[in-house]
Amino acid sequence: MPQSLQTEHRHLLHKLGISWVIFTIVIFCMVVFYRWEHIQLQTIRLTQSHANQLAFKIEGLIDKIVESGHTLPFFKGELTHCSHELLDELRSIEFNHPDVSAIVISDAQNKLLCASSDMIKTLPLPKKTRLSLFGPLKLDHSESDVFLLQQKMGSFHIGMYFIRPLIENYLQKNSSGFDFTGLYDNHDKKMLVYAGTPGNMKSTLQKAETHDESLMFIPLHSLDNISLVVKTRPYGFRGKHLLMFILTTLPFLLVSWFFYKYVARIIGNRYSLQSALTNALRMGHFYPAYQAIRDESQNCYCGAEVLIRWHTDMGDVIMPDYFIDEAERSGLIVPITLQLIEKSFRECHKLLEQMPLVYLSFNLSPHHFKDPDFFRRFYELCSDYCIDAKQVMLELTERELFDRKDKAVIRRMKELGKRGFKLAIDDFGTGHANLHYLQHFPFTYLKIDKLFISSIGTGAITEHLNRSIINMANSLKLNIIAEGVETEAQRDYLLLHQVHFIQGWLYTPALPYSDFDQLLRSN
């Protein structure tokens, strides 16, 4: 494949690779992001449900404590002092309920009327709610703080004391999965009791007032103004998450990898020489270059060989050695040659009209003869541009010798000869054609290959072959054109042997039309 195409192909693959990597990373990040959100949401839901369960359990504990006082009779304003019977009753409740440390009865102003324990001397100011929690409180001679759960009953209050560790242990037991759990007084904005490690409690609670998803407040229904607070563990990234992300993205990665491979293959095909040729043909990227042929007997240029050049998008010129083989293998050579002939006719028809002795010479191969449509199109082009058949030479390389038994080819060549086209055998000496063989074809010109010309003056065996080639051409009455003439010595040798038609860098290389036109006009 030509270098420029390879570079373009590499660039494209490079771009594709980079795009694919970026695309894959973006998709992976998106998947990770959405999965991560999902995990967080799930964790929050799970925590919420755990927290609700815990709140429900705490309510159960409170109910149990409150119920302990329900065995007391309902007092209707007749309670003025603490009778022995009442005291016994209070002590029996305290005795029968392990959660209850003491039980008290107070009036509407929360003045103590009767208490099961001597340690209780005063009571906090009454709250206006039916069931209130006070605490933590300090009692004289008591080891631990206590809480007072007070229920309004008619014009009296019944209060149940329980020790702080009771609720603390309860929270502790149920705080697995949480950073900490606690009871919070919404009214006084303070933490009453907690279990776990809240860190800096003040800042934690401040944060809660802004919006912290890891902190949840669940109001307790039985206790006004009291909420259960739970703080969840931060949603850290764990190894299992990475595995999950990879597993989630794996199908996508596989699909995208195959897609990448597929696109790379399409690009590869596109940059295969054949598709590049097809594309170049469609875009009209084949151009003629004209190498003038000199007639030394007349001291002027008598024609030119039209040599194909491929101008790529990137501004390179690709020489035929690179692509003629592939063009012939794929059969594209036929439309490519037609494009070349069309362009050179378009460029040269005026020049040919003005110089009726000048001809253009095109290279053909057996493919052109086998194609059912080539000559019809070729004749059409000749008539479209009013090109005289005498001004067109067709070169057929000796290397791809025509099958002499192929009557259709010979018929076609005879037809071309009859129409007046010049027929030349090209690259003569490089194949195996012999005199006998050549007699079957209506050639009128023979082009000696540059291989032989370059040997002139070197003393190589090929040098001596020049004379036999010339003799053979003369005996067949063929005009001889010498190709690849580079030095004056070569020219002198040829002139000495009556070879007058000379093509080569000694005079001119293959030129674009404008230079070729100038060369012929300055002739």
User: Which alpha helices (H) appear in 299-389, and where do they start and end?
Assistant: 320-330, 333-354, 366-370, 374-384
94 binds, among Mn ion, ligand G, none (CB under 5 to 8 A by kind): none
159, 198, 335, 504: residue in contact with ligand G (rule CB under 6 A): 504
Residues 6+ apart with CB under 8 A from 197: 179, 180
- Find the shortest distance in angstroms from Cβ 397 to ligand G: 7
89, 395, 398, 449: residue in contact with Mn ion (rule CB under 5 A): 395
No. of helices (H) and no. of strands (E), the chain: 16, 18
Residues 6+ apart with CB under 8 A from 41: none
158, 427, 456, 469: residue in contact with ligand G (rule CB under 6 A): 427
Instruction: State whether residue 513 is helix, strand or coil.
Output: helix
Residue 90 or 340 having the CB closest to ligand G: 340
Residue 249 or 291 having the CB closest to ligand G: 291
Residue 319 or 495 having the CB closest to ligand G: 319
398: contact with Mn ion by CB under 5 A: no
174: contact with ligand G by CB under 6 A: no
Residue 168 or 395 having the CB closest to Mn ion: 395
| 448 close to 479: Cβ distance less than 8 angstroms | no
Residue 149 CA to residue 48 CA, distance in Å, equals: 27
Binding mask 289-318 for ligand G (x = CB under 6 A): --x---------------xx----------
Residue type, 516: F
47, 150, 175, 337: residue in contact with ligand G (rule CB under 6 A): 337
361 binds, among ligand G, Mn ion, none (CB under 5 to 8 A by kind): none
Q: Which of 506, 476, 510 is nearest to 494 (CA)?
A: 506
Residue 4 CA to residue 9 CA, distance in Å, equals: 8
Binding mask 348-367 for Mn ion (x = CB under 5 A): ---------------x----
Site for ligand G in 445-474 (CB under 6 A): 450
- Find the shortest distance in angstroms from Cβ 365 to ligand G: 5
Neighbouring CB atoms inside 10 A of 493's CB total 19
Residue 106 or 363 having the CB closest to ligand G: 363
- Find the shortest distance in angstroms from Cβ 485 to ligand G: 6
| 9 close to 269: Cβ distance less than 8 angstroms | no
363: contact with ligand G by CB under 6 A: yes
Stretch that binds Mn ion, among 83-91, 420-428, 492-500, 508-516 (CB under 5 A): 420-428
Stretch that binds ligand G, among 5-13, 17-25, 437-445, 483-491 (CB under 6 A): 483-491
Which residue's entry shows tokens 């005996």?
Answer: 475
484, 499, 501, 511: residue in contact with ligand G (rule CB under 6 A): 484
Retrieve residue 270's tokens: 């596109």
Residues 6+ apart with CB under 8 A from 407: none
- Find the shortest distance in angstroms from Cβ 290 to ligand G: 11
381: contact with ligand G by CB under 6 A: no
Residue 243 class from Cβ within 10 Å (0-12 exposed, 13-18 middle, 19+ buried)?
exposed
Residue 486 CA to residue 457 CA, distance in Å, equals: 12
**Which of the 8 DSSP states describes residue 22?**
H
Residues engaged in binding Mn ion (CB under 5 A):
363, 395, 426
Residues engaged in binding ligand G (CB under 6 A):
291, 307-308, 319-321, 324, 333, 337, 340, 363, 365, 426-427, 450, 483-486, 504-505, 510
